[in-house]
Amino acid sequence: MARKVSTRRKAIMTAIAWVIAFLIFFPILWTIILSFKSEGDAIKSPLQVLTSHWSFESYFVVQERSDYFRHFWNSVVISLGSTLIALVIAIPAAWAMAFVPGKRTKDVLMWMLSTKMMPAVGVLVPIYLMFRDWGLLDTRIGLVAVLCLMNLPIVIWMLYTYFKEIPNDILEAARMDGATLSSEILYVLTPMAVPGIASTLLLNVILAWNEAFWTLNLTAAKAAPLTAFIAAYSSPEGLFYAKLSAASTLAIAPILILGWFSQKQLVRGLTFGAVK
């Protein structure tokens, strides 16, 4: 029987939720506001900032100084490429861990997750030297490879969790009907786990899109994504708040739009299997 919730409590909880949501979103909102101000207005008090003149000056300057669309395309190729390759590797791996009995599965999963516990700077020098010797510095292929390997443990963990929620009887029935291993994964398992795979894809695209450490250290100009595009507006002379805000807004706008239109699929995937 559902528990009755009073109108007053519902209103209070709604108000608290809106306040928390506003606090979380406020830094992004303030960045967007500053992007429409001049450098002089951007350093004024908050009230003066809100009442000062609004303009697109910072966006024009940013586009003239940096080729936004080249950085944008690099981010798209790197984030989507690394995520799709990780999914191709992770789906069979997660299938094996979820449906093939093994005593060491938990140990293997924990070992993979432990690789995320090492600070990235701890392996920067050897990776940088390998990239230099192999000609992968400042290339999209190199960044796709390193971001794929960096996010692969998370992808496998997420898919393993989703696959474990699928009844093993369904796979057994497919095997009795003569399904091969590849058919079982492609035509039975994958369609049933589409919500989980979609949420995994979206989350890892966001992680790859926002990755700054590797993109700043392994690129210079040709393959530089939007994270390097933003970093260009931090200089020894100081921070140019309006231009930095404009660059940040241009960088986060695509991923905000993607998240907004895919929020239902994302929530559905994150809650996949939560209710029996």
Q: Is 2 inside any structural domain?
A: no
151 found inside a domain: yes
Query: Percentage of the chain with pLDDT > 90?
Result: 28
Query: What is the CATH number for 120?
Result: 1.10.3720.10
Is residue 201 a part of any domain in this protein? yes
The pLDDT confidence band at residue 271, using thresholds 50, 70 and 90, is low
In a domain, 256, yes or no: no
Residue 257, number of CB atoms within 10 A of its CB: 10
| Residue 239 falls inside a structural domain | no
Task: Work out how many domains the chain is built from and give that number.
Answer: 1
- Global pTM reads 0.82
Closest CA to 228 of 208, 213, 243, 207: 213
pLDDT digits (tens, 9 = 90+) for 62-107: 888 888 889 999 999 999 999 999 999 998 888 888 887 677 888 8
Strand partners, 238: 235
- Is residue 81 in a domain? yes
Residue 241 CA: distances (Å) to CA of 34, 42, 272: 7, 6, 41
Residues near 97 by Cβ (< 8 Å), separated by ≥ 6? 105, 108, 109, 156, 160
- In the structure encoding, which two tokens stand for residue 188, read together? 């039975």
Residue 202 lies in a domain: yes
What pLDDT sits at residue 7?
Answer: 83
pLDDT at 209: 92
Q: Which domain holds residue 178?
A: 66-232
Nearest to 226 by CA among 51, 6, 70, 64: 70
In-domain check, residue 247: no
